[in-house]
Each structure stands twice: as structure tokens, then as C-alpha cells.
Chains A and B, each alone.
Chain A
């Protein structure tokens, strides 16, 4: 088994990065607020890698990624609360379970909608996102503790640096191994020309579903880590704007580039949260005026993403 074979450099870099972060955290060189942002950036990266598999590699445009992130978050919040989980180790199976829950949702919703293409897929995933939002807003009618539109409070804080790093490293290696295998090749074939992919013998329905499910699993794990980082959830954290956040990260990072997605997530979270520290609230409102303009400019200037490798 050569599970790590292609990721040695990545392992070395991430372990040293972890040690640096650990030192910064342990000696309180950076404030707890910034520490939280750092963890959040990694969680965003993990979730965005999921979208990158779905959209960047396989070409299936989704405007509903935040919904799967939300499913994972609410599942984890609920489970850790009712099971009264406090420690990191018992939390790990919960995380995996939440990923699986999101994955199953993704699989079930993927069966009908992945037959659609481009814009119709966009509107269908957007529709699913809205349905999840409607459900979360009314969730207190199903279980009081979910909080509905008031938000979910009192989630145990478990997510820490080790957990977040462990999952990121693990996910990056698995994703990379997948991408460099026949499955990754099939995904890229589908993105390029679905009809040709069918005619060279690729079961495109199956492969699209696999990419979508895998991406949703990552979103679910990301969501679960997020829920137990902030201890408060609100349905508005998982609306279309959040889906667009992830989309922007994938586009900036270059569609079909894992490291690009990680860099883009860090830059993006740093940018958004940094602005929050530096700028007064009135100017902060300008954020969503500038971001769409950047997005439009980016699309006109580099329709395939910012950090995409240029081939010969």
C-alpha cells in the first residue's frame, strides 16, 4: 500500500505548519478570536475541496453546497448535544457519521438531479438549498432543540487544531489519490465531454453520482466541525450566499486544483474576517458589492479560474 506515496511533501508541510500553529496557539501569541478564524479557514477548505470535486473536476455545477454543509452541521450539533459528547475521540465517529448522512442525502438527491445539465442543475441544486433552508427554519417543529429560525444554541465546543488538521490531511490525501486514479480521470472526462465519456465506456451516471456523494461527505464533515467550533448555528449560515462563497473559493483556487482550493480558502477567510477587523461596519457592507464585481471581472478575464495550471 502506498497511501501516502504522492503526498510526502504535503505531509511534511502540513505537519510543520501544524507545529507552528500549535506553538502560536499554546503560547497565546494569537488571540482566541484569531485562533477560531484559523480553524474556520481549514474547515472552509475541507468543504470547498468537496465542491471542487463536484464542480471543478466533474463539471457538475452546484448552487446547493451549503445545504449539505448545513445538514452535517445540524446533524453533529444534535448528536453531540443529545449524546453529551465532550471529548475529541468520541467526536470522531460522530464526524464520520455526519459526513455519511450528508453523503446519503447527496446520493439520494443526486439520483434524480444529476441527469440535468449546467443551468438546470444549478436551479435544481438551488431549489434543494432552499428546501433545506425552509426545513431548518421550521426545524423546531420537528425537534425543539434544533431551534428553527431562532437558531441552535448550546452546542459543545469540541473542534480543535488537531482534529481540523487531521481531517484536512486525511481528506487531501484521499482526494488526491482518487483524482490520480481512474475515477479522477473519468470525472475529468465527464467534465470535458459527457457523451464521449459514455462512448469510451464510462458509466457517467454512476461516476457523477460518486463525485457528488463524495463532495457532499466532505461538506458534511466540514459542517460538523463548524457546528462544534462556534457552538451556535443559524439557518442563515447555510443559505445561497454561503454556497456562492464556496463557489468563489473554487473559482479563485482554480477548478480542479486541490492545493489551489486550500490557498483560496485561507485567502478568502482571511480577507473576509480581516476586513471585519480592519473596516468599520458601514464600509463592510460594501463587501458584497465588490465581491460580485470581482466575480464578474474574473469570469470575463479568466473563465476557467484564477490559479488554473496552464498546459502546453
Chain B
């Protein structure tokens, strides 16, 4: 089943086409990767899907709903979560608060309950906290619940961002360059984490990534972009062999 479908998506900035009539779809349950050189328009495309930019043209359909014009904050409630290329944690908030922020953003209790501390408030807060602790645990951050996000190490921050995104149990998780700034060991750990996430939470994953060994290792299908255009799409094997891909961009990197 198609979980996400993108049709003829277009976006330009000051005359430069950042995303040029791109169409693709993501199947439920797969790991779908987007690769391409810097400035190929990958992150722009994620920003279009998550509503941070408005496309000039084209449609985005998620589980049969047209979400092209859906505001960003609604998407998590539809079931789409994301992480950012250069991480966007609430750096002055604690680890626990970071994860709880997304859990509580669902309609849990109203203003009246908040002011008068009704039972509903207490139970919702408690459920959210327990759930958050579960995710913090799963990502190996237990014991650090009360640390501010900014005091964590780089790797821990990356994991916290994943925990926050996953905590709402999305159907589709968009991960923007999770391997940036990681060493080979961390990369292979990351690959394992992504595989586990996929199985344990049965979530569909879309990834933007530069690290070829990571992409080849975990992806079911790969889309290659260059200058805002889609060059090709296929399995890791097909992509590796494709002449256009090698010429256009991979070249020496593939050795």
C-alpha cells in the first residue's frame, strides 16, 4: 500500500528550481532513501512534505489524504514525524520535557483541566511521562531524563531527536541525514537502530543520507536526485549499477 505519494512537486527560490517536478511514492513498511549531492534539493523536499515550505505546484498525498496545504503542526497528528539535518532540540528543556512535548501536543487535556488540575490532567500527564520514559530508555538515555538537551553529547542528542520523533508513534518517519558527523562505528550502530525501530514500531522510514554504506545497508528502495530533479529510483543494486547515477554524482565515491 502506498503510504505517501508525491506528484509533480515543484519549488523554486528566486528563479532557481530547488525541486523540479518530482514524483515518487513510498510503500508502507519500507525504508526509502533519498540521495544526491549537496544542493540537490533533498532537504527542500522534506520541508515541502512537512509543510515548512509551500510548493509552487504538485500534490502530496498521505494515506489518501491530500496534505499539500496541511499546516506543519497538524502532520504529527496525521502520523508524520521528522528529524532535522542540524538537529532542532529544545536545548534549554530537559530530555524528558523534549520527549513529552510531542506526546502532549495531541489533544490530551484542555485549559480547564490544566488550571484546575482535574483528574484528566493528572492521568494524561502520567501516561505521557511513562511513555516518554519508555522511549528514553529504548534510546539509551535513561538516567539523563533531567539533563538539559544541550548538555548531552552529539550522539545522545541525535538519539534524543529520534526518540522525540518516534514517541508519537508515527506511521511515517522522515530522517534528515542521521549519519552526519558520525564515525564508521557509530554509523553501523545507527544502521542497527534504524532496523530495530522499523521492526519494533512498524514504522515506514524515509531517509536523506550521504553515507553510502549506510544507505546501501538499510534501504529497500533509493531515489537519486540532482539539481532538483529525480535521476532515477530503484533498489540499492540497481542504483549501484546505474550509469547515469555513477556519472552524474556517485563517481569515485562508489569505489
Contact = CB atoms under 8 A, between A and B. Distances in A.
B50 A199 contact: yes
B104 A185 contact: yes
A1 B114 CA distance: 10
A174 B115 contact: yes
A196 B114 contact: no
Interface stretch (B23-31, B94-102, B217-225, B240-248): B94-102
A178 B117 CA distance: 9
Contacts of B148: 311-312
Contacts of A177: 114-117
B68 interface: no
Contact of B93 (A3, A192, A198): A192
Interface in A1-18: 1-3, 5
Given A177-B114, A189-B101, A200-B101, A182 B108 contact: yes
Given A5-B117, A183-B114, A195-B88, A312 B146 contact: yes
Nearest to A191: B92
Contacts, number: 106
Given A186-B101, A193-B90, A312 B122 contact: no
Interface in A178-236: 178, 181-183, 185-186, 188-189, 191-193, 195-204
Contacts of A178: 114-115
B114 A201 contact: no
Given A188-B93, A189-B93, A202 B101 contact: yes
Given A199-B88, A200-B164, A201-B77, A185 B101 contact: yes
A195 B90 CA distance: 10
B105 A195 contact: no
B175 interface: no
Contacts of A191: 92
B105 A186 contact: yes
A196 B84 CA distance: 9
B151 A312 contact: yes
B208 to A, nearest CB: 15
B100 A185 contact: yes
A184 to B, nearest CB: 8
Interface centre among A2, A3, A191, A198 (most CB of B within 10 A): A198
A5 B168 CA distance: 29
Interface residues of A, number: 29
Nearest to B94: A311
A196 B109 CA distance: 22
Contacts of A311: 92, 94, 148, 151
A200 B116 contact: no
Interface residues of B, number: 45
Contacts of B105: 182, 186, 200-202
Interface in B109-135: 109, 111, 113-118, 121-122, 125
B82 to A, nearest CB: 6
Given A189-B90, A193-B88, A193-B90, A201 B117 contact: no
A312 B125 CA distance: 24
Nearest to B82: A199
B178 to A, nearest CB: 16
A204 B147 CA distance: 25
A203 B76 CA distance: 11
Interface centre among A3, A5, A189, A200 (most CB of B within 10 A): A200
B89 interface: yes
Interface string A70-105: 000000000000000000000000000000000000
A182 B104 contact: yes
A6 to B, nearest CB: 8
B115 A195 contact: no
Contact of A181 (B74, B90, B121): B121
Contacts of A196: 84, 88-90
Nearest to A177: B115
Contacts of B201: none
B237 interface: no
A201 B76 contact: yes
Contacts of B74: 201
Interface string B49-69: 010100000000000000000
Contacts of A200: 76, 101-102, 105, 164-165, 168
A204 B116 contact: no
B207 to A, nearest CB: 17
Contacts of B115: 3, 174, 177-178, 181
Contacts of B7: none
Contacts of A174: 115
Contact of A1 (B52, B94, B109, B116): B116
Given A181-B114, A196-B84, A311-B148, 18 more contacts: A2-B122, A174-B115, A182-B105, A183-B111, A186-B105, A188-B97, A193-B91, A196-B90, A198-B52, A198-B72, A199-B84, A201-B73, A201-B75, A201-B77, A202-B73, A203-B73, A311-B94, A312-B151
7 contacts: A183-B114, A185-B93, A185-B97, A188-B97, A197-B101, A199-B76, A200-B165
